[in-house]
């Protein structure tokens, strides 16, 4: 049997994550202990015990989710790796996918996403925003809905085309709220705010780009052992240089 790995992004975090793995599997314990050492903070305690408000902060949620994904992979790796054909991840999860593919060491991946989270958090403080998921088929293109909401309330744009029935939008809070209302009028079954601390994958994050480019340049990347499908283009990435380019564009 062949496998493709898929790792989650922000919004998936919750207190208690990984605690059962930590207690049951030495390989998972090693990952969480290594994460604490790499970052110099008790990340494992934040994952296991919260509080939820602190765990949700993007500079905490990103390394927490990466550590959890890496711990799961450490537990199953020996049994699955020879049958793994590719990997992917939602936003932050793409970095976890590159770790699983051997492109990034655990310590490097954790430090890189911690910095990514700090930069995104700082961007969110400078330009506060929100994200929301639109569920169901829309009678009006989401691009048109966002354009109307931008003109009427505040900047908002499509961020994640997850499937025909699930699209995530991102931008200024007023714009997101207006787009949610317009989406319901256009037939959305549900429009729900996401548990994130900023308007990720929108123009509100542009100020994070230079700092992330600097962090990526200082981080060691190697060619992935199996392809990683990129969020930005959907392509199967097989080289370290292309991985860097697309992670920055993401």
Catalytic positions:
91, 201
d(CA 50, CA 213): 30
Q: What are phi and psi of 200, to 5 degrees?
A: -70, 150
DSSP one-letter code for 129:
-
d(CA 19, CA 7): 18
Contact 161, 231 (CB under 8 A): no
Strand order in the sheet with 166-171: 156-163, 166-171, 130-135, 190-193
d(CA 107, CA 227): 21
């Amino acid at each position: 049997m062949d496998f493709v790995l898929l790792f989650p992004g922000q919004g998936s975090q919750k207190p208690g994550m990984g605690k059962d793995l930590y207690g049951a599997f030495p390989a998972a314990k090693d990952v969480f202990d290594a994460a604490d050492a790499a970052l110099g903070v008790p990340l494992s305690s934040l994952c296991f015990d919260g509080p939820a408000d602190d765990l949700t902060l993007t500079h905490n949620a990103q390394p927490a989710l990466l550590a959890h994904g890496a711990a799961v992979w450490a537990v199953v790796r020996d049994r699955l790796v020879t049958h793994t054909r590719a990997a992917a991840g939602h936003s932050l999860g793409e970095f976890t996918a590159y770790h699983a593919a051997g492109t990034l060491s655990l310590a490097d991946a954790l430090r890189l996403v911690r910095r990514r989270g700090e930069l995104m958090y700082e961007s969110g403080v400078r330009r506060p925003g929100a994200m929301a998921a639109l569920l169901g088929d829309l009678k009006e293109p989401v691009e048109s809905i966002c354009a109307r909401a931008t003109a009427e309330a505040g900047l908002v744009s499509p961020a994640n085309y997850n499937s025909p029935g699930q699209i995530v939008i991102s931008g200024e809070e007023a714009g997101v709220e207006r787009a949610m209302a317009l989406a319901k009028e256009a037939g959305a079954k549900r429009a729900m705010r996401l548990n994130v601390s900023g308007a990720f994958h929108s123009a509100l994050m542009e100020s994070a780009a230079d700092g992330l480019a600097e962090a990526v340049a200082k981080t060691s990347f190697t060619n992935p052992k199996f392809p990683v499908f990129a969020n930005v283009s959907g392509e199967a990435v097989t080289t370290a240089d292309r991985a860097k380019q697309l992670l920055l564009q993401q």
